[in-house]
Amino acid sequence: MSQVSRRVSVRTLDRDEWAIHRQVRLAALDTNPEAFGATLVSQQLLDEADWRRRVDDRSWFAFLDTEPVGMVRLWYDPCTKPVPEVIALWVAPPARRAGVARQLMLTAVGTAQRLAGCADLWVSLDNTAARGLYQSLGFQPTGSTQSTSDGRPEMHMRLPRR
């Protein structure tokens, strides 16, 4: 029996698709709470208006066929955050190791390069899979580290200007 190949697509959402953002974000917080600054409970308290405001052109969502399975966001403000930072990358466990994270990262990094020519991110020291992905895309450790709010060490990586 042959396995059916599923198509990965990455795109932003329209404000009317706010429920997709909510679904993916809550799944991410439920599955991997250690990877985010917010808590599941705090995000569950947000109403429709809050979720609609969060839909923007620097957040991308991955779909396997039509099923939402991942997200990534770019934090950038030319006045206060001149180097775009890739944040909130997450892929649903059943969709992992299928190239979804790479597609999300390529989209975010392409935008970061158009905006500023480079990109930053922070990654947990124990997340070897993510570090490998980032290095394969050209990110390099800067030598800076920090601790998350729960004390886990993270390392800073930068995609240099091209």
The string of pLDDT tens digits covering residues 141-155 is: 999 999 987 888 999
Higher pLDDT, 9 or 161: 9
User: What percent of the chain has a predicted confidence (pLDDT) above 70?
Assistant: 97
The answer, yes or no, to whether residue 87 has pLDDT greater than 50, is yes
Question: Distance of alpha carbon 10 from its chain centroid, rounded?
Answer: 12
Q: Give the right CATH number for 8-159 from 3.40.50.620, 3.40.190.10, 3.40.50.2000, 3.40.630.30.
A: 3.40.630.30
The answer, yes or no, to whether residue 159 has pLDDT greater than 50, is yes
pLDDT at 148: 85
Query: Cα(116)–Cα(75) distance, rounded to whole angstroms?
Result: 12
- Could you state, in order of their start, the residue ranges of all structural domains in the chain? 8-159
pLDDT at 102: 97
The answer, yes or no, to whether residue 1 has pLDDT greater than 50, is no
Contact 131, 123 (CB under 8 A): yes
The set of residues, in sequence order, having a beta carbon less than 8 Å from that of 46 and lying 6+ positions away, is 22
**Identity at 155, one-letter amino acid code:** M
> For residue 2, what pLDDT band results from cuts at 50, 70 and 90?
very low
CA angle centred on 101, ends 15 and 88, rounded to 5°: 55
pLDDT at 3: 47
**Mean pLDDT of the residues in the chain:** 93
pLDDT at 36: 87
> For residue 25, what pLDDT band results from cuts at 50, 70 and 90?
very high
pLDDT at 5: 58
The set of residues, in sequence order, having a beta carbon less than 8 Å from that of 47 and lying 6+ positions away, is none
Query: Cα(108)–Cα(133) distance, rounded to whole angstroms?
Result: 14
